[in-house]
Amino acid sequence: MIIRKNPQRRRGAAMVESAVGLVILLFVIFGIIEFGQLVMARMLLNNAATSVSRFASVGEQPATYSDGTPTPSPGGPVTTTFLNTYVTKALAASPLTGISVQFYGSNGNSYIGGTPNRSMPYTSTQFGDGFYVSISGTYVPLFSGNRLYADSSGSTKPMVGSVTLNKTVYVSTEANQ
């Protein structure tokens, strides 16, 4: 057994050790939350891209959007406006900003796996031809401090870099456009 002559000198040691441990624990917890947000954004982006590509491929509007609101004309033809609205509603709960959606055809058919042709509208594809749906968005980390840091012009900037997420889906047309 060790007997200390002056026990008063170690009185605050437990508090300092707890503070250091708490800081490390908080960093780990916030890192887990941040990673979960990034995974959620990626999954919502993938789901939106595959859902929209299916509707564009079939050429028929579903009864409701992803948020449960009714579509303008269920069973009616799919338009680019409908597809853009569907993507906007599907990604409304995501932490993505600057969402960009592109629909374009391909040179060659889906069996050969044609090359992307961004100048070709997807509506000009015929039955069996392939087309692309490409969605991208910027994920700004939740704990980046982007609301705390403003540059000299007054606009907010993230303290930590943002991540651009992209999803491109290639499908073949199942309906004559």
Taking the chain (177 residues) in runs of 10, the rounded mean pLDDT of each run is: 64 83 91 90 93 87 89 87 91 90 73 62 72 88 60 61 85 70
Classify residue 94 by burial, with Cβ atoms within 10 Å: 0-12, 13-18, 19+: buried
Q: Which two tokens stand for residue 43?
A: 């999954």
> DSSP letter at 61?
-
State how far the Cα of 90 lies from the Cα of 101, in Å rounded to an integer: 12
What confidence score (pLDDT) does residue 110 get?
Answer: 47
pLDDT in tens, 47-67: 999 999 888 888 888 999 988
H-helix or E-strand spanning residue 15: helix 13-58
Backbone angles phi, psi at 50, to 5 degrees: -70, -40
Q: What pLDDT is attached to residue 161?
A: 72
pLDDT (0 to 100) of residue 129 = 75
* Model pLDDT, residue 42: 93
101 three-state secondary structure? strand
105 and 129 in contact (C-beta within 8 Å)?
Answer: yes
pTM above 0.85, yes or no: no
CA distance 90 to 84: 10
pLDDT at 49: 93
Residue 160: predicted pLDDT: 63
